[in-house]
Copies of this chain bind each other. A is one copy, B any other.
Amino acid sequence: MDNSFGHLLRVTTFGESHGPAVGCVVDGCPPRLPLPIDAIQRELDRRRPGQSRIVTQRKEADTVEILSGVLDGQTLGTPIAMLVRNTDQRSHDYAAVETAYRPSHADYTYDAKFGIRAIAGGGRASARETIGRVAAGAVARAILGAAVELVAWVDEVEDLVATVDGGSVTVDDVERNIVRCPDEAAAAAMLARIEAARKDGDSLGGTIRCVARGVPAGLGAPVFDKLDAELAKAMLSLPAVKGFEIGSGFAGARMRGSTHNDAFVKEDGRIRTRTNHSGGVQGGISNGETIAIRVAFKPTATIMRPQETVDRDGNAVTLAPKGRHDPCVLPRAVPIVEAMVALVLADHLLRQRAIGG
């Protein structure tokens, strides 16, 4: 269960960073949907290491193989298993880590939980685990169809803030630069900042925004499985995420009801809201407006500086910088955020169909 997500559309990921492979099984996908392997590979390419000079230079083609559930580019309604082989494992890079706990990594907590861990490459805690999520997200998109438009982008790097219109921004806008920030001026500044941080052996955090346009009203659930609750879980389940907001978020906490309330109006023959402080979800259920979330990522834990820490026995040790890493994970996290949002929405679309919606 720990490694599965979703109720009707259910993805299970597997794999360690330096094991033979990573991948996923997606269960519950309806039959007879077109699912070209290119659509999956395209998303994986967006999260691939080595795609640009600001991301980790680990060499992985991340070529996906579909093992089951798809025939002649169409889903069968049976589990879709997808596999990506790990090829560029430099396990020797991790020798020093063997006994030392890297600060703000999962080394210590894995030991606390399991009493054993695959040390090389961070094992299961590696960002390579998200390959399975991205592949599964492509399945979710096939379920959602073209009417639902998902766009995520890097909104902040450190204190650099982009200005982006969530109502109109497109994936093409986002893909125009390697930072994945559709505000070109901000993107340039972010790029410079990331490169400077890398040279400095340091790392940066930031925020990603994601919008979902065209989501029909009625998705979600009234109580525990609120659409925003599931989105929050989806986001916090990603490595390095420390915060989540929907709609007005924390800023909304400082507004008054008379200003915050989204007045209903009739527009173009359907009921809409004049403002969207709700972020497209009210009472846990989509209202047909743009779903708008914001996600905080901490700075990458791996830095190219010596760090003080302890080993398994509690002895103080100094950890020498080693290995490959992203000085700022946000550019590669964009397709992962979209994939998780797609999984939540597709699951709830199926759930809504089940009760006749």
Contact = CB atoms under 8 A, between A and B. Distances in A.
A231 B229 CA distance: 10
The quantity of this chain's copies bound in the complex is: 4
A178 interface: no
A97 interface: no
A242 B236 contact: no
29 contacts: A3-B25, A3-B221, A3-B223, A12-B79, A14-B25, A14-B69, A19-B71, A23-B67, A31-B116, A76-B117, A104-B257, A105-B282, A106-B283, A110-B222, A113-B285, A129-B223, A204-B257, A206-B253, A229-B236, A229-B237, A232-B244, A233-B236, A236-B246, A242-B249, A242-B279, A245-B296, A258-B305, A263-B307, A351-B354
A163 interface: no
A271 B68 contact: no
Contacts of A310: 264-266, 271
Contacts of A223: 2-3, 13, 124, 129, 237
Given A68-B16, A117-B76, A7 B1 contact: yes
Nearest to A18: B71
Contacts of A290: none
A323 interface: no
A138 interface: no
Contacts of A12: 4, 12, 25, 27, 79
Given A71-B116, A269-B314, 8 more contacts: A15-B81, A106-B283, A158-B253, A202-B257, A224-B237, A252-B296, A351-B354, A353-B355
A256 interface: yes
Contacts of A336: none
Contact of A242 (B69, B77, B253, B265): B253
A242 B237 contact: no
A103 B265 CA distance: 10
Contacts of A204: 256-257
A257 B300 contact: yes
Contact of A302 (B22, B115, B232, B257): B257
A279 B207 CA distance: 18
Contacts of A67: 14-15, 19-21, 23, 83
Contacts of A309: 263-264
A2 B14 contact: no
B285 A112 contact: yes
Nearest to A158: B254
A277 interface: yes
A222 B260 contact: no
A142 B8 CA distance: 23
Nearest to A203: B257
Contacts of A244: 232, 236, 243-245
Contacts of A148: none
A50 interface: no
A31 B114 contact: yes
Centre residue among A123, A257, A351 by max chain B CB count within 10 A: A257
Contacts of A125: 222, 283
A79 B353 contact: no
B282 A104 contact: yes
